[in-house]
Structure formats: structure tokens, C-alpha cells
Structure 1
Amino acid sequence: MQVVEILRKLIDFPSIVGTPNGAIVSWIDAYLRSFAVEAHILPGHEGDRANLFATIGPSDRPGYILSGHMDVVPANEAGWSADPFVLRTEGERLYGRGTSDMKGFLAAVLAAVPTLTASPLARPVHLAFSYDEEAGCRGVPHLLARLPELCAPPLGAIIGEPSGMQAILAHKGKAAARIIIKGRSGHSSRPDLGLNAVHAMADVLNAAISTAEDLMQGPFDGAFEPSYSSLQAGTISGGQAVNIIPEVCTLEVEARAISGIDPVSPLALVRNAAEAQKARGFAVEWEILSAYPALSLAPTAPLAGLLRELTGKAPLAAVSYGTEAGLYQRAGVDAIICGPGDIARAHKPDEFILTSELAACQAMVEALAARCRA
């Protein structure tokens, strides 16, 4: 199958983050088996979705991982010109949810499988396709935990997030948390008989704002924009009506951390402010929704040099968005970002990728295969 036809099939699967993904996993598995490539289907703890890992070449020798996620964000935004789960072609543009982020990469990798299997590889190329990346990289940790039994320690991992086929050496880490404060409802005319959860959450929100302002003072890493770690309150909700004391209030916060900083650490003051509400009679729930570390690959690393040669482009120092690459690095695998498409097109109506970008990515994978035969 040609790369556009493979992408068409992948877009057909509405593999929305947080939902079962058996259909897309089964199709990829069948496609690989048609080239005598055996895939390992690795279920997560949810029970209704799985990662997929396949090896082309000798699994007992160090090789390279091509990593991508199968899930996409929902396509409920207004502004889509057509069904987001049906690939639409207009000239060089291919429209559909996930075309850039990141089923275009998956399609290019799968289109290169005939080349990868055409003759024996001296070093293996592994395909690692994950689930629920869009929910804070929830799927890939299960895959990484199984990696030692699946293959020899890899030489590196290429994470195919949309980067315009320019390798990226670093990104920020991220942690998100949900705080729920529960008080006691009642009529607003008798505030002395209730516990106002919205008022209690104000202390927590102020702690988040104060932390965000403190982070702006450094430390700094000039490779990123902005050059400092950040924190924001993303959602807040509570109360039923203006004359009812609100019993419950929920706040969600997110921290993004430069390299060298645990992304959970900026949330400490926010959590302390929440826990302090217990002394006032409130019940408090704290939940980390997602967390992944920053990526920081040295420009002199062999993997950086390899991507420079494969793409013909000098690697970019850093981006502020996050990927699964930091988790690979924490697991002991050098990682770098490089994939087709543009992150600016992701998570928007009429998301698209260019046929030339798919071709460039397929060419990179096939050039990697040539290296692995040497």
C-alpha cells in the first residue's frame, strides 16, 4: 500500500484518546503480519486499549525505535470543512484528524515496511506505537516496562511528533493535577451554617498564581520559549446557583518544567494550600492527572548526528511542548523528536499534512534501514 492509502485507513479509525483502540491495533497488526512481521500487543491496565511493539531484524542486537502514538484528540471543534475521520485530499494537502499529530508518521513508517523487510538487517528497527499519549503519555510507560524482554537495549528512539522533519533535541516536562474541595451546602442567607468550597479554593488558586509569578524569576534555559518553567490554572468549576453555598469546587492546574526540574515540584505549594483547607473542615482530594519528564539530548550525541545525516537538517535546540521522548530518556534510551507535519496544525479544525512531508518521512525511515544493513 502507498503511504496515502495507509494514512486513509488510519484516519478511518476514530481512535480518540481515552477510548478503546482495538480496531486500529488489529489493523496495524494484520498489515505487519502480511510482511511476516510479528507484533506484540501489550494491553494497558485499562483493559480496553493497548500498545503495539514490533521488531524488524535481530531483536538481540542494539537497534533503533520508531515511536508514535495511535490516539488523537477529539474533533468536536466547529470549523471542520468535512468529516474529520475521512481523509480529504486537496492538492498536496491531506485533511483529517491526526494527519499531522501523528498518524502521518505512523503511515510513513508502515509504508516503509516493504523496504525494511526486503533484505536482512544487521541492526533491528523497532516499531513502538502507543495509546493515550494525548492524555499525558499514559500508555507508553507500560511499553517501556516491557522493553527489556522485547529487545536488546536500543541505540536510540526517534519520536515522530510533527516537527517539519527537523530533529528536536529537548522539550519541557509536564505535570497536571486535579484538586477537589468538598464543603457543606446550604442557603446563602446562612453562610455560618455552610462551608463554601469556592471560597476555600480561592486560597489554592492564589497559591497557583503566586507560584506562576515566582517561576518567571528563573531558573532559565534559553533554549526554550519561554525560558523558564511555568504553571497555570486551566479549569475551575463549582457551585449551582448564586443563592446556594457551593459544596464542591474543582481546580485543574498544569506545570511545564525546563530540563533538570521535576515537573511535579512546582505543584508543591498548590498542594500545601489545598491540604491546609482540611483544618477548616473541608475534605480535599488531590490527583496527579499526568506527568512526564523533560527531554534533553546533547547536540554531540550519536543519535543527534544520525538524524542530521538522515534529514540533511541541523537539529533544533528545543521546543516547549512535550512528547513521550522524555520517558524514553528516563528509561535509559536516547531519544530525539523528528516527524512529518507541523505542530501548529495539530488540535485544530481542518488539520492537514502535505504529501511531500509524508514522502520525506518515508525516505528518512528507508535511509535508516539502509544504515542498519551496513
Structure 2
Amino acid sequence: MNATEILKALVGFPSVVGTSNDAIVEWIRSYLEGFGILAHVLPGPEGDRANLFASIGPSDKAGYILSGHMDVVPAQETTWTGDPFVLRIDGERLHGRGTTDMKGFLAAVLASVPALVALPLIRPIHLAFSYDEEAGCRGVPHLLSRLPKLCVPPLGAVIGEPSGMRPILAHKGKAAARIVLRGRSGHSSRPDLGVNAVHAMAPVLQATVSAAHALANGPFDPIFDPPYSSLQAGLIQGGQALNIIADHCTLDIETRAISGIDPATLLEPIRMVAEALRTSGIGVEWEELSAYPALSLARHTDLANLLAELTDQEPLAAVSYGTEAGLFQAAGVDAIICGPGDISRAHKPDEFILTRELSACQSMIEALGKRCCAQIPHRMDPCP
């Protein structure tokens, strides 16, 4: 199967974030089995979702990970011009949910498998496919916790998020939380008999806005746009009707932190304001929705040099969006972003990738395989 045929199969699985991915995992496992590759299916604690890990080449050597996520965002927009889970070919454009983010990368990886298994690899190529990345990278930590038993410590990981096949060295970290306040309902004509949770949320919301303004004053890192950490309130909901005292209010907030700052710490001042409301008879719940660290890979590391050579592109210093790369780095594995497609097409109706982008990615992966059969200065053994 070529990359387009594989992408057609992958798009056909509606592996929406937060739902079962059994079908797509089984298809990939079976595909790899056809080439004599044992794929480890690693169920997550949810019970209906799993990561997948497989290795091509010797098991006793350090190699490289090709990492991508199998989940996609929902496709409920009414402006799709076709079924989002049926690949639609329009010239060089391949339309469908996840084509760019990021089943295109998975298709290129799987299309490279026949070439990789035919090579006399002296370093392995590992495939690490995760679930629920779109919910804040919730699946891959379970894979990373098992990595020491799955392979020798890797030399590096290529995270195939859409980058136009240009290597990317850094991204911000992220943390998100949900605050739920609970008051006491009643008729709006007698506010003295109730506790209005929407009103109670006001100081929490104000603390969020104030903290966001303060972060704009630095510290700064000029490789990012904007060059400072950010904080925002993204969603607020509460109450039942205008003439009922609101007995609940929910606020979702997120922060994106420059390298060197733990994003979770930026939420702590908001949490303290919320917790202080308990003394006024308000019920307070704080739920961490997601968290992942920033990625920061030095330009002249072996991995950055290798990807620059394989793609013939100078690595980009940083991007605004987040990935699983920071989690790999936190687990002790150098990581870099490099994948087909353009992030501007992701999460939109009629999402698409170009056939030439799939080909370029496949060529890069196969070139990596050939490098794993040859000497890479300072890090690779020569071929026997």
C-alpha cells in the first residue's frame, strides 16, 4: 500500500479524541504484523483506548522514535464539503479529518515500513503512536512510563506534527484547569436566601485577567510569539435561568509557558483565589484538564543536526502550538518536531494534506533508515 492508500484507511477510522481507538490500533497492528513486526498494544487506564509501540531493527541498540498521535479533533462543522471520515482526493489535495493533524505523518511512516524492514539496520527505528493528544497529551505519558521495558534508551524522537517538513526546536508548555463553584439556588427576587455562584466567580475571573496582564511584562524569550508566557479564560458557564439564583459556575483556564517555566505554577495564584472562596460558603472544585512541558532542544545537538541534514532545512527556533515533544524530552529522550502538512489547515473543515508532502515525509523517514545503516558522526556505529 502506498501512503495515500494507507491514509485513506486511517481517515476512515473516526478516532475522535476521548473515544475508543480500538479499531485504528488493530488495523495498524495487523498491518505491521504483515511485515513480521510485533506491535505492542498498550491499553491506557480508560480501558477503551491504547497506545501502540513497535520496533524495526535490533533490540539491543539505541535508535530513533517516530512518534505521532492516532486521535483527531471532532468534525462537527457544517461547512465540510464531504464526509470528513472518507478521504476525498482533489488533485494533489487529500481531504479528511486528520489528514494534516496528524494521520498524514502516520501514513508516511507506515508506507516506509517495507523499505525499513528491507534495510540492514544497525540501529532500530521505533514507532510510537499515542491516543488523546488532542485532549492535552493525555495518552503518551502512559507509553513513556513503559519505554524502559520496550527499548534501549533512544537517541532521539521525531514528533511528526505538521511543520512543512522543517525541523522545529522548541514550543511552549501548557497547563489547563477547570474551576467549578457551587452556591445555592433560589428565586432571583430573594438573593438574600441564595448564594450566587456566577457572582462568586467574579474575583477568580478578575485574578485570571490580572495574571494574564502581568505575564505580558515578562520574563521574555524572543524565540516565541508572543515572547512571554500567556494565560486566558477560555470558557465560562453557569446558572439555569435568568430568574434563578445561579447555583453553579464553571471556568476553564489555560496557560502557555515559555521554556524554563513550569506552566502549572502559573495557575497557582488563580487556584488560591478560588480556594479562598470556601470561607464564604461556596463549594470549590479544581480539576487539572491537561499539562505538558515546553520543548527546548539546542540547535547543535546531534538530533537537530541530523534532521537538518535529512530535510535540507535549517531548523526553526520555535512554534506557538504544543506537542508531545516536551514530554519525550522530560522523559530523557531528545525530541524534535518534523512532519508533513501545515498547522494552519488543522482543526478546520476540509482539512487536507498534499500528496507531495506525504512523499517528502516518506523520503525523510527512509533516509533516516539508511542513516541507521551507516555511520552518523559521534553517535552511530559503522556498518559491519
TM over 0.5: yes
Counterpart code for 2:265: S
SS of 2:109's partner is: helix
Computed over aligned residues only, the root mean square deviation of the Cα atoms, in angstroms, reads 0.5
Question: How many Å separate the matches in 2 of 1:357 and 1:51?
Answer: 25
Q: Normalising by the residue count of structure 2, what TM-score does the alignment of the two structures yield?
A: 0.97
Partner of 1:305: 305
Counterpart code for 2:125: V
* Cα displacement (A) at 1:56: 0.2
Sequence identity, in percent?
Answer: 72
Residue pairs, 1:26-45, within 5 angstroms:
26-45=26-45
5+ residue gaps, structure 2, are: 375-384
Question: How many Å separate the matches in 1 of 2:232 and 2:41?
Answer: 37
Partner of 2:284: 284
Aligned residues: 374
Residue pairs, 1:22-171, within 5 angstroms:
22-171=22-171
Question: How many Å separate the matches in 1 of 2:208 and 2:340?
Answer: 36
Question: How many Å separate the matches in 1 of 2:327 and 2:119?
Answer: 32
SS of 1:143's partner is: helix
5+ residue gaps, structure 1, are: none
Deviations 1:221-260 (A, max 9, x none): 0000000000000000001111111000000000000000
SS of 1:373's partner is: coil
Residue pairs, 1:292-371, within 5 angstroms:
292-371=292-371
Question: How many Å separate the matches in 2 of 1:261 and 1:234?
Answer: 21
Partner of 2:377: none
SS of 1:127's partner is: strand
SS of 1:73's partner is: coil
Partner of 1:219: 219
* Cα displacement (A) at 1:119: 2.7
Between 185-194 and 220-229, the greater mean CA deviation after superposition: 185-194
Q: Is the 8 A contact 2:230 2:256 kept in 1?
A: yes
Q: Normalising by the residue count of structure 1, what TM-score does the alignment of the two structures yield?
A: 0.99
Question: How many Å separate the matches in 2 of 1:196 and 1:326?
Answer: 40
* Cα displacement (A) at 1:274: 0.6
* Cα displacement (A) at 1:78: 2.2
SS of 2:201's partner is: helix
Question: How many Å separate the matches in 1 of 2:367 and 2:283?
Answer: 58
Question: How many Å separate the matches in 1 of 2:120 and 2:13?
Answer: 32
Between 98-107 and 261-270, the greater mean CA deviation after superposition: 261-270
* Cα displacement (A) at 1:120: 2.5
Post-superposition, which runs of at least 4 consecutive aligned residues in structure 1 deviate over 3 A?
Answer: none
Between 151-160 and 189-198, the greater mean CA deviation after superposition: 189-198
